[in-house]
Amino acid sequence: MCNQTVCLVQAAIEREGITTVSISLLREVVSVLKPPRALFVPFPMGFPLGVPNDTQLQHRVIAAALELLGRNDTPILEEFKG
């Protein structure tokens, strides 16, 4: 339910002119709802930035998500490559 809510809120914020990006753990939800910009990460539920204490990985995830902010060819579902 939370994943669906985030996608819907993200779309509403975009309609107000504010660019958004989300990090998603559930491809099936994002594929159906198609938020404006989403980064799919292959991590377990509860760990959207990867394993705890791996700051290099966490920074790469955040950087990959922030890179999507400059794109306007929405909806975007980008896969995190690591």
Give the model's pLDDT for residue 82.
81
Average pLDDT over residues 53-80: 96
Domain ranges in the chain are: 2-79
* CA angle at 65 for the pair 24 and 22, rounded to the nearest 5°: 40
Per-residue b/e over 8-24, b at no fewer than 16 CB within 10 Å?
Answer: eebbeebeeeeebbbbb
Q: What is the mean pLDDT of the chain?
A: 93
pTM of the model: 0.88
State whether residue 81 is helix, strand or coil.
coil
- pLDDT exceeds 80 at position 18: yes
3-state secondary structure of 22: strand
- Give 5's pLDDT tier (boundaries 50, 70, 90): confident
Q: Which tops the pLDDT comparison, 11 or 1? A: 11
